[in-house]
Structure 1
Amino acid sequence: MKYLLLRQGKEDGEPATAEHFDSEFEATNWARSWLQSHAEHDRYVLKPEDDSRNLLMIRTVAGQWYAMPLADPVR
């Protein structure tokens, strides 16, 4: 499945990058690695192409990247 990495707040815009992976675990590891050397901001969203579950990627003050599942909006 294709995963898109987008700057938070610009999820409808052009992705920073995109790749195909077999699992969310592989995609998360790739996103952390890519963000470590390319990120221009502290928050990104890792979005699967099928819109199953988005992950918020957050950079800490120490420079580590964490992935947190985003909840569906309350209706």
Structure 2
Amino acid sequence: MSIATADAAPPAEADDPTPVLLTVEEAARCLRIGRTTCFALIRTGELESIDIGRLRRVPADAPAQYLARRRAAQRAA
């Protein structure tokens, strides 16, 4: 076994149940909001997203972080 092989991460399984990135539609479903509202949150920077080529993806933990910020802001008000 070479050193490069030992240090490399194992390949991701095709049926891995935990996604790293969500589509905008999946993120909208997680938040129980519409696709247009989700894009508006992304546009204003309230919901984190990244571009991969021509694709827009939302990190899997971003909806939970958005919700936590909203809850904290509502408690503070």
Bigger fraction of residues in helix? 2
Bigger fraction of residues in strand? 1
Q: Which of 1 and 2 has greater Rg?
A: 2
> Is the structural similarity TM-score above 0.5?
no
In the superposition, the TM-score normalised over structure 2's length comes to 0.25
